[in-house]
């Protein structure tokens, strides 16, 4: 018997219809196997395996790790079909055997919409649609505030850095604080990009050290630090690397005229930031990736693009025992010789 309560009807339908079911019913190419899966996104031409389907506490969910779109089977249908929320709900209800109209009055609904694609091709999400998704996610960000002196001291203490380095990044407008997920967090933000970490120093949900706010856009942070003078640049990996680089610049005798820039991740590409790459032309750039294969691949890409843009580039390889610059920035006096080499071009 079908309930008169729409919320109960929707919950029952989501239990009966999985995201994999919806994928097949919509005639999308490359249907995933049942259960948890990682596959290509169904809503645009993209060969990367960036679309995951997984069982959460409250049912089947999906996440696009490039656009950061996420949701349940109804959100999935809305994302792919693009006919609005009511149509997506009605479609899933019908697949679950519930043909009653949403409002309880009026004529019966038309058949569920079908997504068709040419053989071998995937339906492509429009750029505008992708922008709308990211814009919506950013509208849900918490309010960001300037850090108090106590916040700055807390960040410096947690990161084991000179408070002057934290103040320098704050003075540039790149550091904020917010209340998020029931905790106080500090945020490194520039433009449409924002990444958060708990102010307590504890991991984020799921054990991650840091998480980007959904809807974030950007491959590098710190462009505002470049200025118009052709200062040499310390290009580091990871947003929190801005704080660590600032600490080293403040410590090194030869670092007085340097500035810093951070790749959001080892996968950041200058192809996503052509204006920034143009600003680095003619500058001295010291690239410092994290240890590991991912860091090495990222650095190779950055160095190639910087060379092509006309920058003078030198790669700095961290010595054995140091996974990133943080190990050095937390105890600079013990690494004075290494830091001197870092700024020797």
Do 133 and 157 form a contact (C-beta atoms < 8 A)? Answer: no
Q: Any idea which of 83-97, 114-128, 224-238 has the lowest mean pLDDT?
A: 114-128
d(Cα 236, Cα 260) in Å, to the nearest integer? 8
- The predicted model gives 43-48 an average pLDDT of 79
Residue 36 sits in the same domain as residue 94: yes
> Is 147 or 132 the better-scoring residue by pLDDT?
147
Structure tokens at 335: 């690494």
Residue 171 sits in the same domain as residue 68: no
CATH number, residue 66: 3.90.580.10
- The answer to the question of residue 144 being in a domain is no
Q: Which long-range contacts (CB under 8 A, 24 or more apart) does 163-168 make?
A: 164/247, 164/250, 165/243, 165/244, 165/246, 165/247, 165/249, 165/250, 165/329, 166/243, 166/246, 168/246, 168/250
Whether residue 113 is predicted with pLDDT greater than 80 in this model: the reply is: no
What integer pLDDT is reported at residue 42 of this predicted model? 86
Q: pLDDT digits over 143-188, tens only?
A: 999 999 999 999 999 999 999 999 999 999 999 999 988 899 999 9
From 108, 139, 170, the end of a domain falls on: 139
Q: Cα-Cα-Cα-Cα dihedral of 174, 178, 180, 182, to 10°?
A: 140
Domain enclosing residue 222, as ranges? 149-342
Domain count, the chain: 2
From 139, 171, 206, the end of a domain falls on: 139
In the block, tokens 């071998």 appear at 120
Confidence of residue 2 (pLDDT cuts 50, 70, 90): low
Residue 215 sits in the same domain as residue 338: yes
Q: pLDDT digits over 260-303, tens only?
A: 999 999 889 999 899 999 999 999 999 999 988 999 999 999 99
Residue 123 sits in the same domain as residue 153: no
From 120, 139, 158, the end of a domain falls on: 139
Residue 257 sits in the same domain as residue 113: no
Minimal CA–CA distance to 197: which of 173, 176, 222?
Answer: 176
Q: What angle do CA 291, 310, 168 make, to 5 degrees?
A: 55
Structure tokens at 292: 């590991």
Instruction: Tell if the pTM clears 0.75, that is, is over it.
Output: no
Q: Any idea which of 120-129, 186-195, 254-263, 335-344 has the lowest mean pLDDT?
A: 120-129
């Amino acid at each position: 018997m079908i309930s008169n309560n729409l919320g109960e009807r929707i919950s029952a339908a989501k239990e009966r219809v999985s995201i994999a079911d919806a994928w097949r019913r919509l005639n999308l190419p490359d249907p995933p196997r049942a259960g948890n899966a990682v596959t290509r996104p169904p809503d645009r031409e993209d060969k990367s395996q960036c679309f995951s389907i997984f069982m959460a506490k409250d049912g089947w969910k999906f996440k696009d790790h490039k656009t950061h779109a996420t949701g349940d089977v109804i959100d999935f249908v809305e994302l792919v079909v693009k006919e609005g929320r009511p149509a997506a709900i009605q479609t899933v209800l019908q697949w679950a055997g519930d043909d009653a109209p949403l409002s309880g009055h009026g004529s019966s609904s038309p058949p569920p919409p079908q997504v068709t694609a040419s053989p071998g091709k995937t339906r492509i999400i429009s750029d505008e649609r992708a922008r709308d998704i990211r814009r919506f996610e950013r509208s849900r960000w918490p309010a960001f505030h300037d850090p108090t002196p106590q916040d700055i001291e807390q960040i410096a203490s947690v990161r084991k850095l000179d408070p002057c380095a934290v103040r320098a990044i704050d003075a540039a407008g790149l550091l904020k604080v917010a209340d998020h997920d029931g905790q106080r967090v500090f945020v490194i933000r520039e433009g449409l990009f924002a990444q958060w970490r708990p102010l307590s120093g504890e991991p984020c949900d799921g054990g991650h050290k840091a998480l980007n706010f959904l809807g974030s856009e950007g491959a590098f942070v710190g462009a505002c630090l470049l200025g118009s003078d052709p200062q040499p640049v310390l290009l580091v990996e990871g947003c929190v690397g801005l704080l660590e680089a600032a600490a080293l610049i403040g410590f090194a005798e030869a670092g007085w005229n340097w500035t810093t820039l951070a790749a959001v991740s080892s996968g950041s590409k200058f192809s996503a930031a052509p204006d920034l790459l143009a600003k680095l032309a003619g500058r001295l750039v010291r690239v410092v990736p994290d240890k590991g294969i991912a860091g090495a691949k990222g650095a190779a890409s950055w160095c190639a693009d910087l060379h092509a843009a006309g920058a003078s580039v030198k790669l700095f390889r961290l010595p054995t025992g140091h996974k990133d610059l943080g190990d050095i920035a937390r105890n600079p006096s013990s690494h004075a010789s290494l830091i001197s080499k870092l700024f020797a071009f």
